[in-house]
Amino acid sequence: MTPIIDPRVAALAPDFRAVSIVMEVGAPLIASVAEDALHEAARAVGENGPSWAPHHLAAWAQVFQKFGAKPQRTPCSAEALRKRFLRDGALPRVNPVVDLYNAISLQYAIPVGGENLDAYAGTPRLTLADGTEAFDTMKDGSPAIESPDAGEVVWRDDQGVTCRRWNWRQGVRTRLNTDASRMWFILESLGPMPIEALHEARVEARSQNAAAPHSIADHVIARPGRHAVGPLQPGADAVQLARIELAVHQTRNVLVHHHLRFSSVPSNGRNSAAIASRARNIRDRTVPIGQSIAAAISS
């Protein structure tokens, strides 16, 4: 599944990078896993971490202003979550899955969305609303349909808007619950968040969910570079270390979407553990915006 990013959104935030994770669930997530993650997130925030968090949240506020939102009233989801935690000293429990991605969002000061992929009609798209789309929500405790503002950044599918103001408010139809068999998570970052921290958040999301899913696929979404991506030609050392499968999906109005899968292969005279470790390091490297894939892998 390849999320589609409207180039007009990329123009609003050229440094936008995200990790898209799809999980096919084999067993319910253990509640204690989410509980532990929330405690760890609370500890990190209590120690005023991470140091770059204020700058990252400020960058999101600036991007929100660019499409007409008022971040003081409707902040990005990560800032809203952090403010609630600092005000109340804790976050309300929803269910183990939502609690887990809330913990990751809080700890890393990153907007994290969780969706029931089976409830989607077509492919998730990050785009600008025209103001006529339907957005299902709750108002005064009852189901309601509203429309986003024209020019507002929204996530949507073929049926309507699934999340308003980029990551501010999620709709009801695709909301994630413990009954979902296919879950989609999107971790969204801007330039002030170090790429290493985005990697850490991605690894945390995968590892904490490892007990539940029987299948996980993740992808890095980034603004396409100005140079065309040619055939992958890694250095000899990289070829010895891993078999590399590369899929680049590039169509009109779609940002480059990289999916790299690595597995160890035999190598004469090389330590298999070291080979596997190096392969994991390569696998966990995000292709930075504007950098060719071959350079990222061989560097």
Conformation bin of residue 109: beta by default, left when phi > 0, alpha when psi is -120 to 50: left
Q: What is the DSSP string of 97-153?
A: HHHHHHHHHHHHT--EEEEEGGG-SS--EEEE--S---EEEEETTEEEEE-PPTT-E
Give the mean model confidence (pLDDT) for residues 101-111: 96
Write down the pLDDT at residue 28.
64
What is the sign, positive or negative, of the torsion defined by CA atoms of 37, 169, 109, 79?
negative
Residue range 4-222 forms a domain whose CATH class is: alpha beta
DSSP at 168: T
Write down the pLDDT at residue 162.
98
CB 149 within 8 Å of CB 133: no
pLDDT band at 123 (very low <50, low <70, confident <90, very high): very high
Instruction: Record the tokens describing residue 168, joined without a space.
Output: 């501010």
Residues 258-288 pLDDT 10s: 332 222 223 333 343 443 343 344 344 433 3
Instruction: Please classify residue 288 by burial: count the beta carbons closer than 10 Å to its beta carbon, then call 0-12 exposed, 13-18 middle and 19+ buried.
Output: middle
Q: How does the average pLDDT of the chain come out, rounded?
A: 76
Domain regions of the chain by residue span? 4-222, 236-298
Instruction: Please classify residue 257 by burial: count the beta carbons closer than 10 Å to its beta carbon, then call 0-12 exposed, 13-18 middle and 19+ buried.
Output: buried
Instruction: Record the tokens describing residue 14, joined without a space.
Output: 């050229």
Write down the pLDDT at residue 287.
34
pLDDT band at 148 (very low <50, low <70, confident <90, very high): very high
What pTM does this model have? Answer: 0.74
Residues 175-196 pLDDT 10s: 988 788 899 999 999 999 999 9
Residues 203-233 pLDDT 10s: 888 876 655 545 566 667 765 432 222 222 2
- Whole-angstrom Cα distance, residue 238 to residue 298? 6
Instruction: Please classify residue 158 by burial: count the beta carbons closer than 10 Å to its beta carbon, then call 0-12 exposed, 13-18 middle and 19+ buried.
Output: exposed
